[in-house]
Amino acid sequence: MNDALEFSADELNMLNNCLNELCNGVRIEDWEFQTRIGWTRAEVRELLDKINMRLPAVRR
């Protein structure tokens, strides 16, 4: 599926912060992460990395 979504800079920043907190702040054991979130920690980090790569252009 290649549906595109549009986000404002604030919304993208909010999503970035939430994913960052999920991956790096809130302590969820690795064995439990996928069960609770629906994706592996690596998959969520991959999405976080994609957002982080695009944030500087959006923040201009």
pLDDT of residue 55: 86
DSSP codes joined into one string, the chain:
--------HHHHHHHHHHHHHHHHTS---HHHHHHHHSS-HHHHHHHHHHHHHHHHHHH-
Among all chains, which residue has been given the structure tokens 């920690």?
Answer: 41
pLDDT of residue 5: 86
Q: How does pLDDT run across 8-48, given as a tens digit for each residue? A: 999 999 999 999 999 999 899 988 999 999 999 999 999 99
pLDDT of residue 60: 64
pLDDT of residue 2: 73
pLDDT for 49 beyond 70: yes
Say what the pTM is.
0.82
Token duo for residue 42: 């690596």
Domain assignments of the chain as residue spans, ordered by start: 9-59
